[in-house]
Amino acid sequence: MMPDPNFDVSVNLTRESSPDQSAADVVIVGLPQQDSLPTSLNEFDQIGNGWLTRLQESGQIGGKRGDLTLLGVPSNEGPKMLLVAGLGDAVHHRSDAFEITAAAIRSLLDRPRGCVEVRVAEQFPAEHHDAIVAGAMTACEGQALYRSEPSLKLPTQIAFPGVSQDQLDRGRTIGQSINQARRMVNEPPAVLYPASFADAVTELFEGSETEVEVWDEGRLAEEGCRAILAVGAGSARPPRLVMMRHNGGGDEPPIALVGKGVTFDSGGLSLKPSEAMMDMKCDMAGAATVVGVMHALAKIGVKRNVIGFCGLAENMVSGTSYKLGDVIKTRSGKTIEILNTDAEGRVVLADTLDVAKGFQPQSIVDLATLTGACMVALGRDVVGAMTNDPKVLSGIESSASIEGELMWQLPMFRHYDEQVKSKVADIKNIGDGRWGGAITAAKFLENFVDGQPWVHLDIAGPAFAEQPKAHRDAGATGVMVRTLLRWIEEQA
């Protein structure tokens, strides 16, 4: 079974209310945390002679952020149900539009429904309306891809009154792109492996202006990508390198997005225990994020030059696996001493970054589920950021703040350089002991950018969630798709 690169949630999105108001199964309305009902709820309040006012006064409905109350409408006319979604205080950010809408839609997916109208546009600035649509889209995608009976019962239509067609189209694209990344991560490793990943990307961009180039194991050998080949040597499924070129910015130097794509990580000869291996299909989330961003750029038609790179390998165990003590000469000529085969992502990225560097980009951003150490430092919900160029990172941080995606900078002091130096090669693929593991991993990668402006984003924590939240399922999250899209669009 191959992943479907052209999937979409089977929901018709529209900006128009149903001509027959009785056809709407549910209308979602926003309720701010204030003393009285907003004017947007007056028409519904009047249906039942002030029923919503009475419910609010008695504390049965509230505007606290996260409150969701589903009510039967006391009338034979109009919608059958009303879902009151608490908006919290009066300051509503873009991330609120995304998450509140997503949580409201998710709460309705327990049973089949017809038309659902999302009437929250007037509660948010027009420039946030695409986030309302994107949130609704992501709510309709989950990790239960192979259940005989779908766990999510999708409505036949979602309407967004008050949202312009441009914002509807943009929100749809952003939602699709996030879901594209999530779907690739959630696919089982027997379905998504280096070759099938490359095939899915090729098919995804077929007919678009995005140029896709795939290097198979023969081309990787010709190019001297011995690091990628070493990591994939233990698998029956050979590695790949995928490049996606979005040419929207004329003669300007491109932005390079580089994603770690270890489609399954057993740890190699440094074998992981079973508990640590169960979700290692997610170790290609960096590459999937790059695909999601490139999909959004193509669909929106962003006027920038961007090249996406995905280094793809399976880290498996066999008689041909790379070994502890091996020394690998990378594409750049630098040599790596292998002291732990479970520190494989940085080895794959060594060659992938070198390929990206050859296109003389204005900046390089890599994304990788790279270290458990980053999760120890920052928890499961925060992206760790490391850089050699504070100005580039500042722009990404600004975009992340607007989109509500959490990230935090870790230091890159020269002191850490010594910890990745090898006695027998140029560098080694692990630091000295347990301490500062996320930073020493970034220091390893820094050896392969040769001073070009570069940001490393360790997404090990937020890329894959063990537990669901109100606004999204457990499993893949699509973190950083929104942030990087905004950052690329806002480049001067």
Residues designated as active site: 272, 346
Query: Are 192 and 312 contacting, i.e. CB atoms less than 8 angstroms apart?
Result: no
Single-letter amino acid code for the residue at 44: F
Phi and psi at 414, nearest 5°, equal: -60, -25
- The closest of 283, 300, 417 to 343, measured between CA atoms, is 283
Query: Are 276 and 383 contacting, i.e. CB atoms less than 8 angstroms apart?
Result: no
CA distance 317 to 320: 8
Strand bridging mode 335-337 / 427-428: parallel
Rounded (10°) CA dihedral 50, 52, 54, 60: 170
Query: What does 316-375 look like in DSSP terms, one character per residue?
Result: --STT---TT-EEE-TTS-EEE-S-TT--HHHHHHHHHHHHHTT--SEEEEEE---HHHH
Single-letter amino acid code for the residue at 87: L
| CB atoms inside a 10 Å sphere around CB 145 | 17
Alpha helices in 190-253 (DSSP H): 194-204, 217-222, 226-231
- The tokens for 118 are 């999302």
- The closest of 80, 75, 131 to 101, measured between CA atoms, is 131
- Enumerate residues 6+ apart whose C-beta is below 8 A from 433: none
For tokens 């192979």, name the residue: 146
Query: Are 374 and 462 contacting, i.e. CB atoms less than 8 angstroms apart?
Result: no
For tokens 């722009």, name the residue: 395
CA distance 147 to 77: 37
Phi and psi at 138, nearest 5°, equal: -70, -25
